[in-house]
Amino acid sequence: MISVYPGSFDPPTNGHMDIITRASKFSDKLYVAVLNNSSKNVAFSVSDRLSMLSKITEGLPNVEVVSFSGLLVDFAAQAGASHIIRGLRAVMDFEYEFQMALTNRSLDDRLETLFIPTSVQYLYLSSSIVKEVLKYGGNISHMVPEPIEEFIKRSHS
Ligand code: PNS
């Protein structure tokens, strides 16, 4: 089974890493696909996000980090993927995720979206929360994998 885990990953968090690790166990191949869309307001460049994700997934041999632009269904078809992976935190995610899954299915019904419920310790976590805490100089060591914290410290100093 070839899966795609798409997202902005701006920056990657422990919550993303949890989903990547779990999805890599039931996928033969997992593409972690960073959206490269210039209209999105992002804090980290695509190349920084690719570097960060490559670093934290280097111990997972069936995971490949890539960027994509345009429609997710087109990238998935090109990658030969049968499944889209998305993490679900709480009710707040549901409406957006459900709409996205139905949209993608309407565009390509060969693709199934699989939702993985987040591990409970990451229920509160998001890239936006990490950026908010970073902005005011707070501690993010429990929110992101260690190499990500180091990368952010290096790139912000
Ligand atoms: O981490 P995010 O920002 O919640 O991820 C959103 C993402 C990248 C999965 C979504 O914006 C996406 O797939 N964009 C590509 C354009 C597309 O295919 N849109 C149609 C589905 S709504």
pTM score, whole prediction? 0.96
Task: Count the residues in the chain.
Answer: 157
Is 16 one of the annotated active-site residues of the chain?
yes
Mutate to test the pocket of ligand 1, among 5, 8, 16, 72 (most ligand atoms within 8 A of CB): 72
* 99 Cα nearest atom in ligand 1: 22
Count CA atoms closer than 13 A to 79's CA, side-chain side.
29
Is 155 one of the annotated active-site residues of the chain?
no
Kindly provide the b/e burial profile for residues 2-13, where b requires at least 16 CB atoms within 10 angstroms of the residue's own CB: ebbbbbbbbbbb
Q: Which two tokens stand for residue 24?
A: 């890599």
Confidence of residue 135 (pLDDT cuts 50, 70, 90): very high
Is 127 one of the annotated active-site residues of the chain?
yes
User: What pLDDT shows up at residue 157?
Assistant: 60
| Rounded percentage of the chain residues whose pLDDT exceeds 70 | 97
User: What pLDDT shows up at residue 37?
Assistant: 83
